[in-house]
């Protein structure tokens, strides 16, 4: 580790997804491939590498393209494309093992119905995934054009075999449970993003390899011998001048398909909030759902308004994320300590260190950028939605300290922040007798009988290389 000053980001080298969620593009398609002919795949990569979307900044909305495409690789994909073993060995253990490894499943809570053995893709009983193409477009026609003409993914001579496909069409900004999603995103230092009130500015090294992170360090990145890079495509590794920096400007992508039991969620809320005479109480059900999540459906944080939903506040990006817990809601009387948003980002209210500023500093060492999209699967026969959920896509530079930490130590941790025996009420694998403490005066209430609302259907860890590294991959022998 070497301490280094904040670097300027190379927007032309970084893949666009790191800095841009492509919010203007409601249609997306995620194509998972197995490389069946590495030489052919490299030829294909040579052609398409320059068409992959970079993060180069544009000034006006109308300059944004109607489609964007990004590419990421698993360990096996990079091996097949000829990345040398010593370079692969420099990738973090969790990436090398893959999301479906038993050690990872235990940390992530991917057990029972969420276990990799029953996944639709990425598991031990499904075909190997080598690479992921993420296509974003204004409409389906644009996506078709990107897939079939620009990237030409379906042609057999490209050496790729599609093993899974997932589409997404976004309608509005709510996720399937009915809550506004994607509100609290960290800003990346040096990315030139507009900083919203309450938004944390996080060091680029938390999301990009080769930059200073929140500890003030630059973690060594996987590199390759210069002999393997005769055209000097890669930048020189500043810590080892005889090697080219393969990882620089790259990142890691977490992809998980999360099925949401919307009917089960609503039915649980109804059951748990019935009046004494057995009739439904929609107002209480809405309040309970807000307590579980930490926000009202509009996005209004309970910390800012614990009495009522406030749609104006909820959609106002200058207000809906401008809060901490420590000053006004330390004890969780408004937003429960175990609620989803408080577990996913405890902000300034960790149990220790109790000092809010220190707490925020530490919480900011475990942030991710979320690029999720909703999905709805419709029965061809009846036209009804048979499954819906979230295509969880996260960007981070250190899988075990960011995504896995949030999952294991915050969301799934029964002892989170001094609690006793409860997991995240929304996303964790509650077995049917899950519990949630709702802090209240003079004494807490406890919600019992929480079932599982979210099931993992598949997933994988990917390396999102820089554009230069993509070009290098295409020319490896």
Partner 1 sequence: MAQSTITIVTRVNPNHLDALDRLLSGIGHDVEKNEYVRFAEIASLHMAGIVIAAQDPRFPPILIFESNFDGTADEYLHALVGHGRGGIDAIYSKCEGYPAESARTDATIIAYLREHSLPAAAFFVGLPGQTVASIRNAIAVREEINCFLDAESAKNSIRGLSAFAIRDLIVAHLERDSPVRPEIPPITFSSYRRIAQRNTIVAWLVGLLVGVILSPLLVIWILAVRYLEVREQKEKRQPDPPVDERTYAMEDLFIQNHLATIGIVKDNPIRRFTIRTAVAAVGIMFQRILLRGGFGGVFTLHFAHVVWLDEGRRILLLTGYDGSALEYIGNFTDTAGFYLNGAYGNVRNYPPCKWLIGPGAASANGFANWSRQHMQYTPVFYSAYPNETVLNLMNDLDIRDHLAAAKSEHEVERILKLL
List residues bridging with 224 in a β-sheet.
Answer: 244
Nearer to partner 1, 27 or 367 (CB): 367
Restricting to residues 312-351, name those near partner 1 by CB under 8 A: 331, 351
213 vs 100: CA distance, rounded Å: 27
Nearer to partner 1, 55 or 399 (CB): 399
Q: Which residue do the tokens 């307590």 mark? A: 291
Nearer to partner 1, 102 or 192 (CB): 102
86 vs 451: CA distance, rounded Å: 45
Nearer to partner 1, 226 or 330 (CB): 330
Phi/psi region, residue 322 (left: phi>0; alpha: psi -120 to 50; beta: rest), is beta
What ranges in 8-119 are assigned the alpha helix state H?
A: 16-19, 38-48, 75-80, 85-89, 93-97, 102-108
What is the H or E stretch that residue 470 is in? helix 467-475
Among 96, 444, 451, 476, binds partner 1 (CB under 8 A): 444
What ranges in 278-339 are assigned the alpha helix state H?
A: 282-293, 311-315, 326-329
Asked whether position 439 contacts partner 1 by CB under 8 A, the answer is yes
Q: Are strands 201-202 and 187-188 parallel, antiparallel or unpaired?
A: parallel
Nearer to partner 1, 266 or 365 (CB): 365
Among 7, 26, 37, 217, binds partner 1 (CB under 8 A): 217
Of 25-33, 161-169, 305-313, 436-444: span binding partner 1 (CB under 8 A): 436-444
**ω before 388 within 30° of 0 (cis)?**
no
Restricting to residues 256-315, name those near partner 1 by CB under 8 A: none
Restricting to residues 361-390, name those near partner 1 by CB under 8 A: 362, 365
473 vs 477: CA distance, rounded Å: 9
The contact pattern for partner 1, residues 90-109, with x = CB under 8 A and - = no contact, is -------------x--xx--
| Secondary structure, 3-state, 264-284 | HHHHHHHHHCCCCCCCCCHHH
Among 48, 212, 219, 253, binds partner 1 (CB under 8 A): 219
> What phi and psi values does residue 258 have, to the nearest 5 degrees?
-115, 110
Nearer to partner 1, 109 or 458 (CB): 109
* Least Cβ distance, residue 253 to partner 1 (angstroms): 20
Nearer to partner 1, 360 or 390 (CB): 360
Instruction: Kindly determine how many residues on this chain lie close enough to bind partner 1 according to the rule CB under 8 A.
Output: 35
Contact residues toward partner 1 (CB under 8 A) are 1, 103, 106-107, 213, 215, 217, 219, 331, 351-353, 358, 362, 365, 400-401, 404-405, 408-409, 413-415, 418, 420-421, 439, 441-446, 448
């Amino acid at each position: 580790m070497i301490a280094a000053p904040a670097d300027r980001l190379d927007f032309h080298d970084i893949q666009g997804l790191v800095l841009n969620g492509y919010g203007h593009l409601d249609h997306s398609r995620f194509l998972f491939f197995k490389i069946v002919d590495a030489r052919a795949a490299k030829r294909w990569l040579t052609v398409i590498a320059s068409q992959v979307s970079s993060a180069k900044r544009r000034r006006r909305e109308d300059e944004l393209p109607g489609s964007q495409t990004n590419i990421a690789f698993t360990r096996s994909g990079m091996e097949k494309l000829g990345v040398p073993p010593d370079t692969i060995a420099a990738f973090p253990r969790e990436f090398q093992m893959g999301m479906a490894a038993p050690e990872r499943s235990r940390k992530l809570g991917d057990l029972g119905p969420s276990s990799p053995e029953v996944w639709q893709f990425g598991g031990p009983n499904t075909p190997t995934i080598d690479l992921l193409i993420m296509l974003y477009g204004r409409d389906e026609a644009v996506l078709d054009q990107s897939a079939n003409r620009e990237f030409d993914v379906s042609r057999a001579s490209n050496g790729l075999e599609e093993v899974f496909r997932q589409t997404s069409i976004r309608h509005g900004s709510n996720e399937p449970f009915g809550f506004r999603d994607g509100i609290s995103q960290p800003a990346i230092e040096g990315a030139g993003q507009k900083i919203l009130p309450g938004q944390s500015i996080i060091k680029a090294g938390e999301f990009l390899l080769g930059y200073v992170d929140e500890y003030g360090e630059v973690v060594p990145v996987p590199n390759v011998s210069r002999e393997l890079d005769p055209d000097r495509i890669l930048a020189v590794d500043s810590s080892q001048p005889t090697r080219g920096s393969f990882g620089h400007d790259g990142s890691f992508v977490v992809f998980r398909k999360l099925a949401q039991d919307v009917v089960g969620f609503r039915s649980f809320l109804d059951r748990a909030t019935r009046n004494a005479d057995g009739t439904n109480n929609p107002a209480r059900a809405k309040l309970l759902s807000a307590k579980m999540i930490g926000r009202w459906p509009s996005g209004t944080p309970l910390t800012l308004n614990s009495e009522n939903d406030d749609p104006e506040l909820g959609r106002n990006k200058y207000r809906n994320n401008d809060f901490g817990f420590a000053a006004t809601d330390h004890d969780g009387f408004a937003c429960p300590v175990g609620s989803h948003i408080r577990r996913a980002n405890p902000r300034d209210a960790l149990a220790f260190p109790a000092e809010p500023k220190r707490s925020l500093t530490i919480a900011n060492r475990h942030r991710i950028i979320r690029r999720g999209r909703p999905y709805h699967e419709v029965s061809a026969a009846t036209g009804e939605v048979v499954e819906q959920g979230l295509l969880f896509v996260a960007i981070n530079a250190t899988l075990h300290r960011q995504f896995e930490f949030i999952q294991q130590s915050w969301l799934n941790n029964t002892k989170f922040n001094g609690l006793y025996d409860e997991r995240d009420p929304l996303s964790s694998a509650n077995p049917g007798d899950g519990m949630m403490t709702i802090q209240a005066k003079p004494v807490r209430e406890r919600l019992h009988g929480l079932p599982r609302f979210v099931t993992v259907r598949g997933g994988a860890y990917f390396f999102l290389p820089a554009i230069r590294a993509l070009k290098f991959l295409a020319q490896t022998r």
